[in-house]
């Protein structure tokens, strides 16, 4: 059999194939034209649709218009005012840049343009077919801006027309496009209507993003919005947006994602956000999410898809993780006031006490649960403490023998700010590269499996001053408190950097005296060979006084010029560290912190301070100590800790039992 002859396709066929890649349905054509209007600085955009855009699709704006001399070539392929050389692609900031949109539309529809610029005395009307001007350009009365009318879309591609949905479904897709761009561009007024009918979408000029979300998507969504924003100098990233809180859900989620103001899709980011909401929302429910990411244009490749609905960008994994943590933090912050409502089943005597946050433990549907999946989730049920006789101060909880039990607590006490004097301060975000690097190290070393366990833990009870029992799903774990608390406080010192309130002493403490107390302790390792105590104390005091400004600025740790300690940073609400360990902490600040290197200073200072804060007070009554663990430390672990991978290897968390496995044992007995 002879090989086929290769022929060059007719230009009309080539253009219609190319048009089919870009203009797949009326909504695609409208998206291209809306972007052209926004590039023309329009502040008013009106869209009129007939028969789902198949019979007629018209867009009118008040932008800069098209010059009369450009009308002859405006519908030819690869004609654009926004791109001159290939290098311009690396910094493109406009929507349209290929010069294909109007050309593609003109190859599959009858296209008419009416336009007027500010400099011209009248407007001009031009008709196009197959990318070429049809007839003469005619002068016409008109206002500044451009009106583009697309009639009989796909009149010459009948197979494409037959493959489209009904007019109502196509109109819904058009509505989705207008809704997205109206939300993201609140400076412009958008109107969408069917021919001869009232407007279905109408936004006000100079509105806000939140106002337009409520106007277009409904007041219920508008009331449930949580604003999110962050910036990262290292990733050259700025994020703004709104997500709905955990009290609100939709049967079908709504996701609006813009990267450098371009409406795009990013499956990795969508999956990450859906995974966060799956912990809060009932099965089959989804949130409303609007995100606007701004990246360095040189890090974004917008030229990867004909319809430009996909982009590629550098550092995708890091950026997705950054946004994921931002959404997660917003939901955790908005979860405190969450309301739970649950209908009584027929014949039930009392409401079920099962928060939705624990649905992963008890099942979120109406199917009957097997016995081996039934777990305690209500705080009102009896706890482990009942079986250990630890209800009073004379409980079985004992301090470890190697701890300094005979050391008397210092007289001055730490006091938290009075609620009446508290001011709601705006959190300051640091621009220090070293802090951002240390934060990234924490996130990179985090273990997702451990994170899920801690995020959904249920506190079971206290074993002793070092260990507690926690429950995740149908598994029981033994957790060591001190390393968990040390890592928690270390992360709080980095992620809340520069935003600490102060814990003030009732009386300032003389650092010289604290150093003497520390060196007198045999566990300090001090010997006479190290030099006279007074000289060492003087060196330590001078060192800390010289570093007082940086400690005060970043950590609210105040040291006076005369060598007195006035306050410590407040790391966690309702938590005050033990002053029993304060003398040794002061000595270690001078001896163990690397003061000469910025990043090492922040790391070592945070580690030493975290170690001091994590040593829970031995002098506290047992009831107070257990309350602090259950209601302060472990809720913070659940909500804020990013557990490192080493926790799965160093015995910090050990699985003791699994309910399904226990049932298998009992079945064999």
Least confident of 370-374, 488-492, 516-520, 656-660: 370-374
Residues 233, 194 share a domain? no
> Chain-wide mean pLDDT for the chain?
81
Q: Is the dihedral of CA 480, 482, 484, 485 positive or negative?
A: positive
Same domain, 196 and 224: no
CA distance 188 to 61: 10
User: 533 lies in a domain?
Assistant: yes
CATH of the domain at 170: 3.30.565.10
Residues 220 and 122 in one domain: no
pTM value is 0.50
Task: Give the span between the Cα atoms of 232 and 623, in whole angstroms.
Answer: 43
**CB of 45 closer than 8 Å to CB of 190:** yes
Q: What is the pLDDT of residue 336?
A: 46
Last residue of a domain, one of 158, 177, 202: 202
Residues 274 and 176 reside in one and the same domain: no
Whether residue 30 is contained in a domain is answered as: yes
449: pLDDT strictly greater than 80: yes
Angle CA 625–628–634, to nearest 5 = 125
φ, ψ at 256 (rounded to 5°): -120, 115
446 inside domain: yes
Three-state SS sequence of 373-399: HCCCCCCCCCCHHHHCCCCCCCCCCCC
- Asked if residue 120 and residue 96 are part of one domain, the reply reads yes
pLDDT in tens, 128-149: 998 889 889 999 988 999 999 9
Is 352 part of a structural domain of the chain?
no
Strands laid side by side in the 653-658 sheet: 458-462, 467-472, 475-480, 653-658
C-alpha–C-alpha distance, residues 168 and 197, integer Å: 14
Place of tokens 């054509």: 29
Q: Does residue 404 belong to any structural domain of this protein? A: no
If asked whether residues 260 and 179 sit together in one domain, one would say no
User: Which residue, 553, 532, 293, is CA-closest to 428?
Assistant: 553
Which strand (E) or helix (H) includes residue 613?
helix 598-614
What is the spatial distance between Cα 541 and Cα 543, in angstroms, rounded to a whole number?
A: 5
pLDDT tens profile 551-564: 999 999 999 999 99
Do residues 618 and 558 share a domain?
Answer: yes
Q: Is the pLDDT of residue 446 over 50?
A: yes
Q: Give the residue, 573 or 95, on which the prediction is more confident.
A: 573
Q: Does residue 89 or residue 476 have the better pLDDT?
A: 476
The number of folded domains in the chain is 3
494 falls within a domain: yes
**CA pair distance 556, 193, nearest whole angstrom:** 58
Pair of tokens at residue 247: 């009290």
Q: Could you tell me if 53 and 81 lie in one domain? A: yes
What span, in angstroms and rounded, lies between the C-alpha atoms of 638 and 641?
6
| Contact by Cβ (8 Å): 255, 289 | yes
* 382 part of a folded domain: no
Last residue within a domain, chosen from 331, 353, 374: 331
Q: Do 461 and 383 touch, CB atoms closer than 8 A?
A: yes
DSSP conformation class of 644: B
pLDDT, tens digit, 9 for 90 and up, residues 495-551:
999 999 999 998 999 999 999 998 888 877 877 777 888 999 999 999 999 999 999
Residues 580 and 583: their CA atoms lie apart, in Å, by: 7
Per-residue pLDDT band for 84 (boundaries 50, 70, 90) equals very low
CATH of the domain at 283: 3.30.230.10
Q: What would the mean pLDDT of 223-249 be, rounded to a whole number? A: 91
- Kindly report the CA angle at 470 between 610 and 457, in degrees rounded to 5? 80
Question: Which of 331, 355, 376 is at the close of a domain?
Answer: 331
**pLDDT tens digits, residue range 175-224?**
999 999 999 999 999 999 999 999 999 999 889 999 999 999 999 999 99
Confidence of residue 663 (pLDDT cuts 50, 70, 90): low
Q: For position 100, what pLDDT does the model report?
A: 73
Q: Provide the pLDDT for residue 402.
A: 41
* Together in a domain, 193 and 219: no
Residues 196 and 306 in one domain: no
Residue 339: which pLDDT band, with cuts at 50, 70 and 90?
very low
- 152: domain range? 11-202
278-314: pLDDT as tens digits? 888 888 899 999 999 998 888 776 655 444 455 667 7
Contact 64, 47 (CB under 8 A): no
* 343 φ, ψ (degrees, to nearest 5): -75, 145
In this prediction, residues 422-440 reach a mean pLDDT of: 80
Distance CA 179, CA 182 (A): 5
Residue 403 lies in a domain: no
Q: Which structure tokens are listed for 11?
A: 């230009």
**Same domain (yes/no): 42, 131:** yes
As a whole number of angstroms, the distance between CA 139 and CA 197 comes to: 30
Both 483 and 581 in a single domain?
Answer: yes
Cα within 13 Å of Cα(24), Cβ side = 8
**Cβ–Cβ contacts within 10 Å for residue 192, how many?**
24
pLDDT digits (tens, 9 = 90+) for 88-141: 444 444 554 445 778 888 888 999 999 999 999 999 999 999 888 988 999 998
């Amino acid at each position: 059999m002879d090989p086929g002859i290769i022929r060059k396709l007719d230009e009309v066929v080539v253009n219609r194939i190319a048009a089919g890649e870009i203009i797949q349905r009326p909504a695609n054509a409208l998206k291209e034209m809306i972007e052209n209007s926004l590039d023309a600085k329009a502040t008013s955009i009106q869209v009129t649709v007939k028969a789902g855009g198949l019979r007629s699709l018209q867009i009118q704006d008040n932008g800069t218009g098209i010059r009369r001399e450009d009308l002859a070539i405006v519908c030819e392929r690869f004609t654009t005012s926004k791109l001159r050389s290939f290098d311009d692609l690396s910094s493109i900031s406009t929507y349209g840049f290929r010069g294909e949109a109007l050309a593609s539309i003109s190859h599959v529809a009858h296209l008419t343009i009416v336009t007027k610029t500010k400099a011209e005395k009248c407007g001009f009307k031009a008709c196009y077919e197959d990318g070429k001007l049809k007839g003469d350009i005619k002068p016409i009365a008109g206002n500044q801006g451009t009106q583009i009318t697309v009639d009989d879309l796909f009149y010459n591609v009948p197979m494409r027309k037959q493959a489209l949905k009904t007019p109502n479904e196509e109109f819904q897709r058009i509505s989705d496009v207008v809704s997205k761009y109206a939300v993201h561009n609140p400076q412009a007024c958008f109107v969408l209507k069917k021919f001869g009918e009232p407007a279905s979408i109408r936004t006000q000029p100079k509105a806000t993003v939140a106002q337009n979300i409520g106007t277009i998507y409904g007041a219920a969504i508008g009331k449930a919005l949580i604003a999110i924003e962050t910036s990262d100098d290292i990733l050259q990233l700025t994020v703004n947006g709104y997500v709905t809180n955990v009290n609100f859900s939709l049967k079908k989620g709504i996701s609006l994602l813009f990267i450098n103001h371009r409406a795009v899709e990013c499956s990795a980011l969508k999956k990450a956000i859906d995974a966060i909401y799956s912990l809060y929302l009932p099965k089959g429910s989804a949130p409303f999410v609007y995100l606007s990411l701004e990246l360095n244009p040189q890090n974004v490749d917008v030229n990867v898809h004909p319809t430009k609905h996909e982009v590629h960008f550098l550092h995708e994994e890091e950026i997705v993780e950054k946004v994921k943590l931002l959404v997660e933090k917003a939901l955790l912050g908005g979860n405190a006031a969450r309301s739970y409502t649950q209908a009584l089943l027929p014949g039930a005597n009392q409401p079920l006490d099962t928060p939705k946050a624990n649905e992963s433990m008890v099942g979120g549907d109406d199917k009957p649960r097997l016995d081996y999946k039934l777990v305690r989730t209500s705080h009102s049920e009896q706890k482990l403490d009942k079986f250990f006789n630890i209800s009073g101060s004379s409980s079985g909880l004992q301090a470890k023998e190697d701890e300094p039990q005979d050391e008397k607590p210092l007289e001055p006490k730490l006091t938290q700010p009075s609620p009446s004097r508290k001011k709601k301060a705006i959190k300051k975000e640091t621009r220090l590269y070293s802090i951002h690097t240390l934060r990234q190290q924490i996130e990179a070393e985090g273990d997702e499996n451990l994170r899920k366990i801690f995020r959904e833990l249920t506190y079971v009870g206290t074993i002793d001053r070092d260990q507690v029992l926690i429950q995740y799903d149908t598994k029981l774990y033994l957790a060591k408190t001190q390393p968990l608390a040390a890592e928690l406080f270390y992360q709080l010192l980095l992620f809340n950097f520069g935003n600490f309130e102060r814990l003030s002493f009732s009386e300032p403490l003389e650092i010289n005296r604290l150093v003497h107390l520390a060196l007198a302790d045999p566990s300090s390792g001090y010997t006479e060979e190290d030099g006279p105590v007074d000289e060492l104390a003087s060196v330590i005091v001078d060192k800390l006084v010289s570093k007082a400004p940086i400690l005060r600025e970043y950590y609210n740790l105040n040291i006076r010029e005369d060598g007195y300690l006035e306050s410590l940073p407040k790391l966690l609400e309702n938590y005050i560290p033990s002053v029993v360990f304060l003398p040794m902490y002061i000595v270690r600040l001078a001896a163990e912190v690397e003061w000469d290197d910025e990043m090492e200073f922040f790391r070592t200072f945070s580690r030493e301070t975290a170690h001091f804060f994590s040593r829970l007070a031995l002098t506290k009554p047992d009831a107070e100590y257990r309350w602090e663990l259950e209601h302060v430390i472990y809720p913070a672990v659940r909500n804020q800790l990013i557990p490192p991978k080493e926790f799965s290897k160093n015995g910090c968390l050990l699985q003791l039992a699994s309910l399904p496995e226990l049932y298998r044992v009992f079945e064999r007995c």
